[in-house]
């Protein structure tokens, strides 16, 4: 007999958290890190299909913070001018107490693509986006059925 999945088991992003170099950022608005798989086409004799060969992966993501602190400028302002980029490690966690479990991932070899020097709009709460790439990750906790 099939069990019905209860809607409260869907994980809620409100319970997400991010640590940047072991500092918990309490001003997180949203966070995303994803892996893109790279494939090359492989053509075979007497076969009209295009096959694929896995050749590697690339990681990218975005941290969006509520504009409470000068996150981007603090992390990258001086480094951009001196050429000495910081070594950054992120740990992200999503742990809704009503869900079946929690997800946690560690992301390393991070390079940030840009940061905002200053931006504002009248009668609008400000946020700051920090897009990044990464070359290593570890799946620390996964939600399983």
Query: Radius of gyration (Cα) for the chain, nearest Å?
Result: 20
Query: What is the Cα–Cα distance from 106 to 93, expressed in whole angstroms?
Result: 9
Confidence of residue 11 (pLDDT cuts 50, 70, 90): confident
pTM: 0.88
pLDDT of residue 117: 92
Segment 1-30 mean pLDDT: 89
Residues ≥6 apart with Cβ < 8 Å to 111: 85, 132, 133, 134
H or E element: which one contains 128? strand 127-134
């Amino acid at each position: 007999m099939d069990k019905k999945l209860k809607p409260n088991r869907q994980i809620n992003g409100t319970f997400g958290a991010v640590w940047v170099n072991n500092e918990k950022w309490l001003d997180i608005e949203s966070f995303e890190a994803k892996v893109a798989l790279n494939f090359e086409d492989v053509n075979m004799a007497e076969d009209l299909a295009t096959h694929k060969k896995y050749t590697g992966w690339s990681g990218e993501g975005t941290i969006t913070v509520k504009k409470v602190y000068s996150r981007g400028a603090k992390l990258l302002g001086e480094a951009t001018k001196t050429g000495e980029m910081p070594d950054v490690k992120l740990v992200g966690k999503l742990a809704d107490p009503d869900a079946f479990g929690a997800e946690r991932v560690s992301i390393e070899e991070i390079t940030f693509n840009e940061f905002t020097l200053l931006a504002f709009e009248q009668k609008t709460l400000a946020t700051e986006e920090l897009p990044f790439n990464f070359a290593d990750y570890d799946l620390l906790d996964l939600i399983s059925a």
